[in-house]
């Protein structure tokens, strides 16, 4: 509602705001910190076709291997790769 007058001291301040906001909204999430925002952004970018290198750049990952973690959580995209089990079992 009101912009802060100065920057946040650390990520803990942002995590507290995120946790408090989720609680007020009635959202029960196993993850409630600032990392939730990064995870959500990366997953949405991936679903919209962004390359892992682009996501790594936005999230400021020094290694693309760190960014590949987000590819594992996009279950919807992974389901398009599913193949039938040999022998035809569905």
Does 40 reside within a domain? yes
Does 90 reside within a domain? no
* Average pLDDT of adjacent 10-residue blocks, the chain of 90 residues: 74 88 89 84 88 92 87 71 71
Does 80 reside within a domain? no
Which is nearest to 75 in space by CA: 50, 51, 53, 47? Answer: 47
Q: pTM of the prediction? A: 0.64
Does 43 reside within a domain? yes
Does 55 reside within a domain? yes
Domain extent, residue 46, equals: 32-75
pLDDT, residue 55, reads 92
For the chain, how many structural domains are there in total? Answer: 1
């Amino acid at each position: 509602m009101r912009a802060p007058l100065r920057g946040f001291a650390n990520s803990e301040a942002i995590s507290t705001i995120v946790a408090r906001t989720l609680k007020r909204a009635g959202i029960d999430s196993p993850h409630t910190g600032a990392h939730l925002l990064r995870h959500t952004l990366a997953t949405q970018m991936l679903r919209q076709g962004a390359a892992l290198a682009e996501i790594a750049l936005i999230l400021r990952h020094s290694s693309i291997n760190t960014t590949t973690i987000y590819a594992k959580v996009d279950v919807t995209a992974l389901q398009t790769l599913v193949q039938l089990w040999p022998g035809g079992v569905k």
